[in-house]
Amino acid sequence: MLKSVTSALLGATLLGAALSSPAHAETKINALFMAQAAYSEADVRAMTEAFTKANPDVTVNLEFVPYEGLHDKTVLAQGSGGGYDVVLFDVIWPAEYATNKVLVDVTDKIMPEMKSGVLPGAWTTVEYDGKRYGMPWILDTKYLFYNKEILEKAGIKTPPKTWAELAEQAKTIKDKGLLATPIAWSWSQAEAAICDYTTLVSAYGGSFLKDGKPVFATGGGLDALNYMVDSYKSGLTNPNSKEFLEEDVRRVFQNGEAAFALNWTYMYNMANDPKDSKVAGKVGVVPAPGVEGKSTVSAVNGSMGLGITTTSKHPDEAWKYITFMTSQATQNQYAKLSLPIWSSSYDDPAVSKNQEELIAAAKVSLAAMYPRPTTPKYQELSTGLQQAIQEALLGQAAPEDALKTAVENSGL
């Protein structure tokens, strides 16, 4: 009897203790990022740690994949009924993601101070059909990087202002025996090549679509591919460019093996890091050149956003995480590998410190960003274009024929 009374009292005590303890219901969200250009994995982890410290009731499980796997990973997870709450998405995907209901429409969640504080051009990253499907996070374009020491040795006083001038300067560098192949590009059969191609399309005043139909096989679209093929065949371009992604370009440039390279913002501070780079302190950066009579600069919109998936069971916590990651305070703190989306950040000395040259180029380039085609069928269109570029570079098809085939296979 005594034993049963004691057990009952002990049970009541434990139950009372359990009821009086504060409930700590922890919400876990899964977020998908890329391990490539822009913010480093270490940066994303540090930002996330700051978020969970400020929000101890939320844990964030991070997953990193190469850019090339980001789209398919998102879509496949969606098809299986979930997996991710927050996903990083490229500026080229909102049309498809909105049409196929991959992302939540967050138009009503965006506060007035967000609308007015973010650079107007940045919003195009997350928009489709008048609605917004996330917050812009990575504001980026490709710049022309150059090795100041090599240009000086070649007697070149200023970096090129036109693409024709870039070829002339590269030939001077080659003829003087300074470098065998002075230019590095990311022309692998991947989205990277489309970004370089789009930069040139913008320079030549070309268009991808007109009234929803492809028009890139003529005019500026054809001029852009002709330039790529001419540069490749001339021997001025590193022949391995046809297999390079952006990280390959960075490594070649950092080793002092390229005088010119087209790449994203992140390369500026990485190439200037003496721990890893042989060209630290010799890195110049300017807007990508223009074409005489058609443009003064050229730029591709390579921005990316963070969105909530429609299968997320924790959309409120996901939005809280997104607004923290895209906040001005967070972005200003990590402005060395990706520039902020906030207008007033560019007047903050802490943001521009030691990257004044990059900020000066950004102010021009970010205003000139040219979009890749906005269509729900972007993936098919891009795949066809990637193939066309490869075939033209390898001499398997004339540029005009390669582009015509891409138009025919685009499904548009």
**What DSSP assignment string belongs to 103-169?**
B---GGG--HHHHHHB-GGGGGGTEETTEE-SEEEEB---EEEEEHHHHHHTT--S--SBHHHHHHH
pLDDT reading at 160 higher than 70:
yes
Please tell me the least confidently modeled range out of 63-67, 142-146, 159-163: 63-67
Q: Among candidates 119, 133, 174, 128, which has minimal Cα distance to 151?
A: 174
Q: How far apart are CA 105 and CA 123, in angstroms?
A: 14
CB 226 within 8 A of CB 201: no
CATH 3.40.190.10 region(s) of the chain? Answer: 27-140+303-343, 143-300+372-409
CB 160 within 8 A of CB 169: yes
Q: Tell me, what's the pLDDT at 337?
A: 84
Model pTM score:
0.86
Q: How far apart are CA 225 and CA 180, in angstroms?
A: 23
Sheet holding 143-147, edge to edge: 183-184, 260-263, 143-147, 283-289, 297-298
| Angle, alpha carbons 252-255-260 (nearest 5°) | 55
- 235 Ramachandran zone, left/alpha/beta (phi>0; psi -120 to 50): left
Report the share of the chain in percent with pLDDT over 70: 93
Residues paired with residue 288 on neighbouring β-strands, in sequence order: 298
* pLDDT (average), residues 349-374: 91
Look at the alpha carbons of 199, 200, 205, 206 in this order and tell me if their dihedral is positive or negative: negative
Q: Among candidates 106, 110, 67, which has minimal Cα distance to 90?
A: 67
pLDDT (tens digit per residue) in 359-368: 999 989 998 9
Q: Tell me, what's the pLDDT at 7?
A: 43
Distance of CA 202 to the CA centre of its chain: 18
We find that the CATH architecture of domain 27-140+303-343 is: 3-Layer(aba) Sandwich (3.40)
Tell me phi and psi for residue 370, to 5 degrees: -105, 135
pLDDT reading at 322 higher than 90:
yes
Q: How far apart are CA 11 and CA 311, in angstroms?
A: 41
pLDDT (tens digit per residue) in 204-230: 999 999 998 999 999 999 999 999 999
* pLDDT (average), residues 354-375: 91
Q: Among candidates 393, 323, 407, which has minimal Cα distance to 86?
A: 323
Tokens of 393: 């570079």
Q: Tell me, what's the pLDDT at 192?
A: 96
Amino acid 137 reads W
Q: How large is the angle between the packed helices 399-408 and 219-233, nearest 10 degrees?
A: 130
Q: Tell me, what's the pLDDT at 184?
A: 98
Q: Tell me, what's the pLDDT at 82?
A: 65
Look at the alpha carbons of 185, 190, 196, 200 in this order and tell me if their dihedral is positive or negative: positive
| 10: three-class secondary structure by DSSP | helix
Q: What share of the chain is helix, strand, coil (3-state, %, to 5)?
A: 50, 15, 35
Tokens of 197: 């191609």
pLDDT (tens digit per residue) in 245-291: 999 999 999 999 999 999 999 999 999 999 999 999 999 999 999 99
For the segment(s) 143-300+372-409, the CATH number from 3.40.50.2300, 1.10.1660.10, 1.20.120.450, 3.40.190.10 is 3.40.190.10
Q: pLDDT averaged over the chain?
A: 92
Q: What are the C-alpha distances in Å from 400 to residues 189, 213, 226, 337?
A: 18, 17, 9, 37
